[in-house]
Amino acid sequence: QVQLQESGPGLVKPSETLSLTCTVSGGSISDSYSFSYWNWVRQPPGKGLEWIGSISYSGNTKDNPSLKGRVTLSSDTSQNQFSLRLSSVTDADTAVYYCARVSSNGGFDSWGQGTLVTVSP
């Protein structure tokens, strides 16, 4: 069973770049025959879920236009990790950030536990 774990700073200053990494165990992020996509989803305190973006097993990326080009997604297959960078953060980016897998069934079927990132001076 695949497991995901987010890591990264819990506090980021306004205008700086938020960087998070998701480490995957129990499955390979470059496994092509599982049709897996690796995603970031966030949830501001007390609010709903927002999809940030995804990176495929082959390294193709998609991100949410609402984030206005501030998102960079990458992967490191040697470490079985994928990463998120969100630039020019403001307090509106304060949220719990989750990494999650989409497999052949199309839904987010495995999730990390989430990590709270606070944007504050």
Q: Interface with another protein by CB under 8 A: which residues?
A: 39, 48-51, 62-66, 98, 100, 102, 105-114
User: What's the full length of the chain, in residues?
Assistant: 121
Per DSSP, helices labelled H in the chain are none
Task: Output 1 or 78, the one with its CB closest to another protein.
Answer: 1
DSSP three-state, residue 121: coil
Q: How far is the CB of 47 from another protein (least distance, A)?
A: 8
Q: How far is the CB of 103 from another protein (least distance, A)?
A: 10
Q: How far is the CB of 60 from another protein (least distance, A)?
A: 12
Number of H helices, E strands in the chain: 0, 11
Task: Output 66 or 74, the one with its CB closest to another protein.
Answer: 66
Task: Output 62 or 85, the one with its CB closest to another protein.
Answer: 62
CB 73 within 8 A of CB 63: yes
Question: What is the sign, positive or negative, of the torsion defined by CA atoms of 97, 65, 104, 73?
Answer: negative
Task: Output 83 or 110, the one with its CB closest to another protein.
Answer: 110
